[in-house]
Structure 1
Amino acid sequence: MTVRAARLQRTGLGLAALGRPAYINVGRGELPADRSVEAMRAATWAVLDDAYAAGVRWVDVARSYGRAEEFLAGWLDARTPADVTVSSKWGYAYVGDWRVDAPVHEVKEHSLARFTAQWAESRALLGERLALYQVHSLTPDSPLFDDLPLQDALAALPVRVGFSTSGPRQADTVRRALALERHGRPVFTAVQSTWNVLEPSVGDALLEARSSGAHVLVKEALANGRLAVDPPAPLAAVAERDDVGPDAVALAAALTRPWVDTVLLGPAGPGQLRSNLAALRVPDPTADLAGLVLAPEAYWADRAALSWS
């Protein structure tokens, strides 16, 4: 298998930037000026079509991504691909009322009631095509860790169960969550974490997760678009040297981690998707970018300051 083919197998498509009219990602200029449901559905289908044609076979959504599950379900029904792996997430509810200027876009709740309701909603839309269901944005202080009925309900799902992480203590969350067992079996066998050249602190924990048999997904490899729109000088230099965009370099850094199973792209349109996929041919840039690492607290403070638009 060629390097390109091996990396392509580990590439997935995330619909966070396409399933709702507003998100914190910067550089979403490829979205339609009309953010109506119909326009955003068409934009989502265009990216899904191009991603599938390029060989991408994993799609990640969430209940809080506006209508992302609905858009994906419609595309799956229309195109009927038999080889797409679908993952989704529960825990946040979308409350933005399809407004770019909504005062609040999503509300988090890790409870048995929220899980029960959202599992039913996800399953109704995605059916048997849903292969992985994840707790959205787990942190060390989540009530899930002390909620045994919720853990039992998760462990009883007929699909693979995972969690995504956020915040400066991602590594603690990964280790604690993967240690959870109910009735002699692990609750979680997959983890999705933020990892990028600015914030790689979860890397050792993800290596441990992979070694234990968990499926490891990487999200936000472009730092919510910041590495593509305003790349640090060393990253821009590598991009110029390799004749690709800075987004491809940042994604290549994630794709070349030996412990990663799936790196999620988050393009706003077909042009960004093509630029992202240039990462499949970029040599490992790790040595050139080692000096970009930020303290986790500083990175997550910067991320929290991003505005929805």
Structure 2
Amino acid sequence: MAFDRLAAVTTPAAHIGLGLAAVGRPAYLTTGRAEDLPPARTVEAMRTRTHELLDAAYAQGVRYFDAARSYGRAEEFLADWLRQRPDARDAVVGSKWGYAYVGDWRQDAEVHEVKDHGADAYDRQREESAKLLGDRLDLYQIHSLTPDSPALTDTALHERLAALAAGGVTVGFSTSGPEQAAAVRAALAVTVGGERLFHTVQSTYNVLEPAVGEALAEAHDAGLTVIVKEGLANGRLAGEAAPAELRAVAAETGAEPDAVALAAVLRRPWAGVVLSGAATAAQLHSNLAAAAVDLDPEQCDRLAALAEPPADYWRHRAATPWE
């Protein structure tokens, strides 16, 4: 599997990846974007910011980069960077299909992305991704799989994905919503020709929303690589926005709240790659410090006590405005 190349990376940041959701389009639901991004979020300004982040991440040992068809021009920006960096042949690239970006590069768009998990959508978006990323695409994931998704039962789609895997691209899925655990377990049961179809899973997991943890442990035990997204809960676990208890633990460790929050995720034995969703080089540097944060059991228990009921967490996320 192409994604398995990541296992050969031995840099200190080997278990941290860079997700491009925050910089591939002008609007997203992470807080603080008015301060983090260029005043004029033109295509070229966002391209420049993305390339700055990719340069900084690669220089500090990050080797996994995560995009999606719905992240505006993230695939395009990443493809441009890869062409300009022939030295980065060891970069591992993942993307996703299943949502289409429809925001027309407007911050005030009423709808920014539209979901479609049908086989026709896969065919269309796979071609779009291939035109941009070509043979640099290592991992292709179904975007935000839920238990009711037709992608779980569409055998024609499964055959297409199996053919993609046979061609050397790892096939995976991501999850979102309060029923992530059910989606993970349903996807583990999908097979083609007696072989498990999916080899990676990407889920939202953080100290506020750890409900999928047991299912991710099961996926890891089944041989899947686990990728964690939204480890900072879209900004709720960073800086002054972080809960008081997280800030207290951060003060004890001498690290920033974001690094402590990500360190708590990195401690999970099933966590293969934990994504940074940084929008600035300074945020990225702080996120990467998570690899050096040493949490004791008592501190871990205090962080675990921050967990919210999944329904509450996802209700809060859904109500967060796109900035």
- Same fold by TM (over 0.5)? yes
Once the two structures are superposed, the pairs formed by residues 211-250 of structure 1 within 5 Å of their partners are 211-229=221-239, 230-250=241-261
**C-alpha displacement of 1:193:** 0.3
User: Helix, strand or coil for the counterpart of 2:217?
Assistant: helix
Q: Which residue of 1 aligns with 2:178?
A: 168
Question: In the alignment, does 2:8 pair up with 1:14?
Answer: no
Give how far 1:275 is off.
Answer: 1.2
| Contact 1:191/1:214, CA 8 A, preserved across alignment | yes
Identity fraction in percent: 58
Does the alignment pair 1:52 with 2:94? no
Describe how 1:67-216 pairs up with structure 2 within 5 A.
67-80=73-86, 81-157=88-164, 158=167, 159-216=169-226
- Cα deviation code 1:226-249 (max 9, x no counterpart): 111411111000111122211111
* Count of aligned residue pairs for this structure pair: 305
For structure 1, the residue ranges without an aligned partner over 5 or more in a row are none
1:267 aligns with 2:289: no
Query: TM-score, normalization: structure 2?
Result: 0.92
> Which residue does the alignment assign to 2:43?
37
CA distance in 1 between partners of 2:14 and 2:68 (Å): 22
Residue 62 (structure 1) aligned with residue 68 (structure 2)? yes
Report the Cα offset of residue 146 of structure 1: 2.3
Could you say which residue in structure 2 is the equivalent of 1:296?
310
Deviation, 1:7, is 5.3
Aligned-partner residue type, residue 84 of structure 1: A
Normalised to the residue count of structure 1, the TM-score between the two structures is 0.97
Distance across 2 between alignment mates of 1:15 and 1:7: 21
The answer to whether the Cα contact below 8 Å between 2:64 and 2:92 also exists between their aligned partners in 1 is yes
Q: CA-to-partner distance for each residue in 1:209-241, whole Å, 9 max, x for gaps?
A: 111110100000000111114111110001111
Amino acid paired to 2:99? Y
Task: Name the aligned partner's letter for residue 171 of structure 2.
Answer: V
Residues 279 and 247 from structure 1, CA distance in 2 versus in 1: closer, same or farther, beyond 3 angstroms?
Answer: same
Displacement of 1:119 in angstroms is: 0.5
- The residue type paired with residue 206 of structure 1 is L
Q: Distance in 2 between matches of 1:234 and 1:7?
A: 27
Query: Alpha-carbon deviations, 1:129-182, whole Å to 9, x = none?
Result: 111100000000111122110111111112110000001110110011011011
AA partner of residue 18 (structure 1): V
Q: Cα RMSD between the aligned structures?
A: 1.1
Deviates more, 1:107-116 or 1:20-29: 20-29
Identify which range, 88-97 or 243-252, moves more after superposition: 243-252
Cα shift at 1:27: 2.3
How far the C-alpha of 1:287 sits from its partner, in A, is 2.3
